[in-house]
Amino acid sequence: MRKPLWPEAAAAYKRRAMIVVTGGAGFIGSNLVAALEERGERDLVVCDRLDGGDKWRNLAKRELAGFVLPDALRGFLDRHAREIQAVFHLGAISATLERNADLIVNTNFTLSQALWEWCAATETRFIYASSAATYGDGSAGFDDDGSPEALARLRPLNAYGWSKHLFDRWAIRRTVTPPQWAGLKFFNVYGPNEEHKGVMKSVAAQIYPLAAAGEPCRLFRSHRAGIADGGQQRDFIYVRDGVDIMLWLYDHPAVNGLFNVGTGQPRSFADLAAAVYRAVGRAPLIEFIDTPLDIRDRYQYFTAARMERLRAAGYDWPATTLEDGVHDYVQRFLAASDPYR
């Protein structure tokens, strides 16, 4: 158990105003930065890489106090330690097809350890992105039980999921912690500012141009008895809801632990596709193709976040329905001349 801050230190802590968001130019990160700015936060610092594409557009509407490249992050943190109230660590290599495991571990595990230890030493709050990929094929369930025994039963299917799981297991065993810490297991998130993800962007975003053009989309055929083609289910969560959960945690600094970020209401890919077509005013047009052989034996047919722990902690906002979320995404962003939040 952490000792309470001395009164002088507590007063200084309350004067901290800076919020650092790693991965802040990415999909979920840029939506969080937008929401923080809309709430009136003005001392926002993003740590990320923009490289040569249009990822910068995710931040084009934001007013930032600073932008830091990952290689310069530690020096920045040390120089501004007395100003930083919270670190939202959303930066990661999130491509499930990435094969360079050394790079994945260094980015997703080793850097996360260093940030945790820095936040613990400086009494800085730390909220980080884990992933539903830690659950593997789902055979052990989707319960965000943070006990060492429960985590030991999970078997991620790829290096990305394993690296996130590795950090979760490391974090829950720490006896020296930041004043607040929370690891968030994001399920299938969709919403604005994901264009830079290319083939890794949400299925909703990939279907949209086909629906808008009146062309059919393609979904994987089912290879399991009793499950219809396109009937494979995921817990699709609108990015706005994921951001709301992070803001709620920020507003409740006494809440700590691992939490799922989903709706708890799995829906089929056919439902998702139909929602996109209806959002553009068209009847669904869906064709089915065989699931590729190289992923068929490990393709997930069902995911659903258990949300009881977050509800028990006090979070009681209703999740956006799939139809409402997709309609908002299509009408306000994908169909707009400026699709960025």
Q: Are residues 148 and 274 in the same domain?
A: no
Q: Can you give the length of the chain in residues?
A: 341
Q: What pLDDT is attached to residue 12?
A: 47
Q: Are residues 78 and 48 in the same domain?
A: yes
Active-site residue, from 128, 160, 250, 277 = 160
Active-site residue, from 197, 201, 299, 340 = 197
Q: Is pLDDT above 60 for 86?
A: yes
Q: Are residues 217 and 126 in the same domain?
A: no
Q: Are residues 129 and 242 in the same domain?
A: yes
Q: Is pLDDT above 50 for 174?
A: yes
As a whole number, the mean pLDDT across the chain is: 93
Query: Which residue pairs, CB below 8 angstroms and at least 24 apart, start in 273-278?
Result: 273/203, 273/207, 273/211, 273/217, 273/219, 273/230, 275/204, 275/322, 275/323, 275/326, 275/327, 276/204, 276/207, 276/208, 276/211, 276/217, 276/326, 276/330, 277/207, 277/211, 278/323, 278/327
Q: Is pLDDT above 70 for 177?
A: yes
Q: Are residues 118 and 179 in the same domain?
A: yes
CA atoms of 146 and 308, how far apart (whole Å) = 13
Mean pLDDT of the region 259-279? 98
Q: What pLDDT is attached to residue 14?
A: 52
109 in any annotated domain: yes
- pLDDT category at 8 given cuts 50, 70, 90 is very low
334 in any annotated domain: no
| Coil/strand/helix, residue 159 | helix
53 in any annotated domain: yes
340 in any annotated domain: no
Q: Are residues 251 and 288 in the same domain?
A: no
Q: What pLDDT is attached to residue 92?
A: 87
Q: Are residues 89 and 130 in the same domain?
A: yes
Q: Are residues 134 and 282 in the same domain?
A: no
Q: pLDDT digits over 225-258, tens only?
A: 999 999 999 999 999 999 999 999 999 999 999 9
Look at the chain and report how many structural domains it folds into: 2
Q: Are residues 51 and 177 in the same domain?
A: yes
Question: Catalytic annotation on 160?
Answer: yes
Q: What pLDDT is attached to residue 1?
A: 36
Mean pLDDT of the region 17-28? 97
Q: Is pLDDT above 80 for 7?
A: no
CA atoms of 161 and 337, how far apart (whole Å) = 35
Q: What pLDDT is attached to residue 15?
A: 62
The structure tokens listed for 200 are 């890794």
Q: Is pLDDT above 80 for 6?
A: no
Q: What pLDDT is attached to residue 136?
A: 94
Q: What pLDDT is attached to residue 2?
A: 39
> Structural domain of residue 111, as residue ranges?
7-191+235-264+300-320
- pLDDT category at 296 given cuts 50, 70, 90 is confident
32 in any annotated domain: yes
Residue with tokens 């595990």: 109
Q: Are residues 145 and 107 in the same domain?
A: yes
1 in any annotated domain: no
Q: Is pLDDT above 60 for 125?
A: yes
Q: Are residues 115 and 156 in the same domain?
A: yes
Q: pLDDT digits over 96-122, tens only?
A: 666 788 888 888 999 999 999 999 999
The structure tokens listed for 93 are 């290599």
Q: pLDDT digits over 127-158, tens only?
A: 999 999 999 999 999 999 999 999 999 999 99
91 in any annotated domain: yes
CATH number at residue 84: 3.40.50.720
61 in any annotated domain: yes
Q: Are residues 35 and 80 in the same domain?
A: yes
